Structure formats: structure tokens, C-alpha cells
Amino acid sequence: MLILLPPSEGKAVPRRGRPLDLGTLSLPRLTDARERVLEALVDLAGRDEAARVLGLGATQVDLVDLDRQLRTSPTVRAEKLYTGVLYDALGLSSLSTAARRRAATRVAVVSSLFGLVRPADRLPSYRLSGDVSLPGLGPVAGIWREALGPAVREALGNGLLVDLRSSTYAAFWRPPADLAPRVATVRVLHEVDGRRQVVSHFNKATKGRIVRTLLQDGRSPRTPAGLADLLTDLGWTVETGAPAKIGTRLDVVVGEV
């Protein structure tokens, strides 16, 4: 099983640790694309228009410095770098030893800068949203759309792909038709008084809790139907949609986080 997560806009800023070494990251087939995006981002960070291109407000211009210093800044494991509602609920670093071992092979984060990373990959803090277009390279989504397919297949193997990405990062790579029988996308619906809607906080927190529960449980379903059954067994309310050309959608319905 491979669980794809979106990154977080908010990130920890490590104060110590060795600098970035692209050669040590998992999925080395992405190294060339990583280097291209890294070079373009560092170059942009040295320009006057950096904050505007990166979509930063007047109180966020210090984040440009993170990108300017990417090659020399301290790094930290990805499981500690990404923060926010989803990652707080997931709590990768507080999992049991067995669950952390599973996370090492079952969890991957889709990153605008690094493409696809594992929890143990050491990364610097950075700012690059998925909808940014880098001067000289173009939209980062387009760059990764060309590179991520083989990397995802390598990480997936013969297992089930559990896609928890947000719409921005789903655009980086779409599952091809031949993988559809092994792809489950998960949507979280908040239900109040019979009315359902997607609410960002509930969506992120619930997805984090789902991943944590799956890692702690340890079972590895092979099909979307198997995942729906497992989540139901673990106490979630799950509704399974019809198979589609990019996979099967599972709706997880919650009343509260």
C-alpha cells in the first residue's frame, strides 16, 4: 500500500542539521527534476519579484530567505518538517516503532520542490506552493507531471494506492487507466443535521487520523473495496463510489473531528 499525502504550507524551520544532499533522498530517479526546480527556486529567491511570484504577503517576505538559502540550510526528517492540521493529527514521530516502520514504506508526500519524499528524507524548510510558476521552468505542476509517474509506480509496486492529495497536488500526476482498479481516493464529508459538505479543517484532520489508524493497524488491503471494509472495521463511516477511470472514491462521513 502507498499513501499519497499533500505537503503543508506551514513547515518547521530546523536550526541544526546537515545541509541538503539530493543524492540521499529516496526515489533517486527524481534527482534531475529536483535539481532543476531547486536551481530555479534559489535563483528566483534572489530577485526582487520573488515574493510576488511565490504569492507571499507583506508579512511573509522572510520566507523568501528560506528559499535563497536552500542549499546550505539545516535539514530535518520530512516527518518533522511538515506541520499543520493533517500532520498534527497523523503524528508520524509519535507512532509506535512498528507503525513508523510501516510509514517508511507506505507513506509519501507530494512536494512542489522535491516531487515525492518519504518520512525519513532530510529536507530544509522551504516555501513553494503547488500553483506557482517558476521563471524559466513554468508551472511546477507541469514539471512534476512529466516526472512523477515512474516514481509513483516504483513506490507503489503491486499494492493499493490511497490518494489523499488535495486538488492542487492531484494535478501533479493523474493515475492512468491501468492503475485505476488499485487506486482509492478519499474524500471527507462533514455531516450536520443531514447536510454534508467538505470543510477544510475536518478534511485534513480526519485524513491524518485515518492514516495514523491504518499505520497502527498494519493491515494492507489490495483493493478500494478492501480499504473501505477495513476503514469500516476500524470505526469509520464509509460510502464507496462507482469505479472510475482514475480510481474509486471513498467518502468518509464524520460529524466531528
pLDDT averaged over every residue in the chain: 95
**Which pLDDT tens digit goes with each residue over 21-65?**
999 999 999 999 999 999 999 999 999 999 999 999 888 988 999
Q: Is the pLDDT of residue 229 over 90?
A: yes
For the stretch 59-113, pLDDT in tens is 898 899 999 999 999 999 999 999 999 999 999 999 999 999 999 999 999 999 9
What's the angle, vertex CA 44, arms to CA 43 and CA 48, rounded to 5?
Answer: 120
Instruction: Please state the rounded mean pLDDT for residues 13-20.
Output: 96
Secondary structure class of 250 (helix, strand, coil):
strand
Q: What whole-number distance in Å separates Cα of residue 126 and Cα of residue 136? A: 19
| Residue in 190, 194, 215 with CA at minimum distance from that of residue 203 | 190
Report yes or no: 61 and 51 within 8 Å, Cβ to Cβ: yes
Q: What confidence category does residue 257 fall into, taking pLDDT thresholds of 50, 70 and 90?
A: low
Distance CA 246, CA 251 (A): 15
Instruction: Compute the average pLDDT of residues 206-228.
Output: 97
Q: Please count the other Cβ atoms lying within 10 Å of the Cβ belonging to residue 229.
A: 15
pLDDT at 195 over 90: no
**What cell was used for 41?**
527556486
| pTM reported for the whole predicted model | 0.95
The mean pLDDT value for 4-12 works out to 94
